[in-house]
Amino acid sequence: MADRKTVSIDVRRDLFGANDDVAALNAEMFREHGVRVFDIMGSVGTGKTQLIEAMCDRLSQQYRVLMVAGDLATRIDADRVGSHGVDTVQINTGTACHLDARMVRVALRGVDLSKYDIVFIENVGNLICPAGYSLGAEKKVVVVSITEGPYMIRKHPLTIKRSDAVVINKVDLAETLEFDVDALVRDIRAVDANLPVFRVSAKTGDGIDDLMAGLGL
Amino acid sequence: MADRKTVSIDVRRDLFGANDDVAALNAEMFREHGVRVFDIMGSVGTGKTQLIEAMCDRLSQQYRVLMVAGDLATRIDADRVGSHGVDTVQINTGTACHLDARMVRVALRGVDLSKYDIVFIENVGNLICPAGYSLGAEKKVVVVSITEGPYMIRKHPLTIKRSDAVVINKVDLAETLEFDVDALVRDIRAVDANLPVFRVSAKTGDGIDDLMAGLGL
């Protein structure tokens, strides 16, 4: 029988209090300008940008949309969304693995928020840290992809607990990858029985309308 | 006039400096016990565990292998590798998005390293932070998957710079996903022209032998 040892290491951080103060100021600023803000989180390559593009395509006739993109480097994502006629702000974090409330505040300096109805903030590609930092958004939406394998929910219960909705993306690949989407939904329900869950393919457009209705868009 | 003293502390330098000191102690400990240690990094669901399973299957007849798994929660990964008859240590980091040298040191307390020839450390699923923290391993190997989309290299040049080898996993899906693996390799070469790059499918076994030869295993 092989040895099987488990060590739990508890790392606590003091940073969250200070971030919450700035997030509250951001939330107040968003309210004052009557703009609805969504913080879109998820790991690298889960399709956050494509999801935002799909929503922008449906919204941009009726609403004025701003997209704020967080990445360590490049402005690939902002440029992709910008090509849909949406205004964009790219935040390059250098080494930081998540956005925080102050970064968003600094990035929006000089931006006239009253020009917009909706802001999508695409967080840095990371399933862990962005969940710990409120940006002052109305909702935190986490995007997972079935290409991430079957365990990403069970390994990241805190991210699920801190989210207001879960989007399961790339469901068009479920058959090819022999992926059990129902099992993934059960894992989410085990963490939070009432959390809204949306099955979508940002690529084919399946489920996008339901997602937007669920977000009140 | 009141004394006004200002002390500037570079938190990041301080943090990384302290980690490097412990990593050096770990490296010395590994050398003393004649054990070769590999730090396997990469985002959630890129197939790090399956890759380690594939290597263990080829190594465990000839070598004694220990697997150290880092996850926020669960011991799913350690148990998967453990089922191949390999000893395992699971580190649960709670909220921390990467392993550091001290965590590895604490986790290996009481483990007789002289019993092993090779240690695979599977880092927390995150393409960003693990690259910043040396664990004292011989090599940092980053695993990316073509299911992460085409931009993960360009967005994360620092992770590539801090790695000793790149594994491109799930190449068996390239055709289905219409993914240009050559373009990804060019992105890697643009960051570091000399970095060893291995194209593998941990699922089918394609490329595993080349990877192991490249790592001197």
CA A8 to chain B, closest CA, distance in angstroms equals 5
| Cβ within 8 Å, pair A155-B47 | no
Residue bearing tokens 């909705």: A165
CA A146 to chain B, closest CA, distance in angstroms equals 9
pLDDT digits (tens, 9 = 90+) for A136-181: 999 999 999 999 999 999 999 999 999 999 999 999 999 999 999 9
- What DSSP state is assigned to residue B201? -
Question: How high is the ipTM of this complex?
Answer: 0.89
Query: Who's near B8: CB < 8 A, 6+ residues apart?
Result: none
What per-residue confidence (pLDDT) applies to B61?
A: 86
Residues B147-164 have a mean pLDDT of 96
Q: Which residues pair with A141 in a beta bridge?
A: A40, A165
Q: Which residues of B touch A2 (CB under 8 A)?
A: 82, 85-88
Pair A134, A106: CB distance under 8 Å:
no
What per-residue confidence (pLDDT) applies to A110?
A: 87
What per-residue confidence (pLDDT) applies to A209?
A: 97
CA A15 to chain B, closest CA, distance in angstroms equals 13
CA A92 to chain B, closest CA, distance in angstroms equals 10
pLDDT exceeds cutoff 50 at B1: no
Tell me which of B87, B100, B128 to substitute to probe the interface with A (most A C-beta atoms closer than 10 Å): B128
Q: Which domains, ranges and CATH numbers included, belong to chain A?
A: 16-214 (3.40.50.300)
CA A33 to chain B, closest CA, distance in angstroms equals 32
For chain A, the residues whose C-beta falls within 8 A of a C-beta of chain B are 2-13, 43-45, 47, 71-74, 76-77, 95, 97, 124-129, 132, 145, 147-149, 151-152, 154-158, 176
Q: Where are the alpha helices (DSSP H) in B68-180?
A: 76-82, 101-107, 152-155, 157-161
| Cβ within 8 Å, pair A126-B97 | yes
Nearest Cα residue to B192 out of B216, B145, B156: B156
pLDDT exceeds cutoff 70 at B15: no
- What DSSP state is assigned to residue A136? S
pLDDT digits (tens, 9 = 90+) for A69-96: 999 999 999 999 999 989 999 999 988 8
**Angstrom distance (rounded) from CA A50 to CA A125:** 13
Tell me the pLDDT of chain B averaged across its residues.
93
| Cβ within 8 Å, pair A154-B76 | yes
| Cβ within 8 Å, pair B126-A125 | no
DSSP, collapsed to helix, strand or coil, labels residue B2 as: coil
Element housing A131 (H / E): none
**Angstrom distance (rounded) from CA B142 to CA B163:** 6
| Cβ within 8 Å, pair A7-B158 | no
Measured between CA atoms, the residue of chain B closest to residue A126 is B126
Element housing A115 (H / E): none
The pTM for the full model equals 0.91
Percent of chain B with pLDDT over 90: 88
Nearest Cα residue to B184 out of B201, B166, B172, B202: B166
Q: Which residues of A touch B125 (CB under 8 A)?
A: 43, 127-128, 152, 155
B94: nearest CB among A8, A127, A152: A8
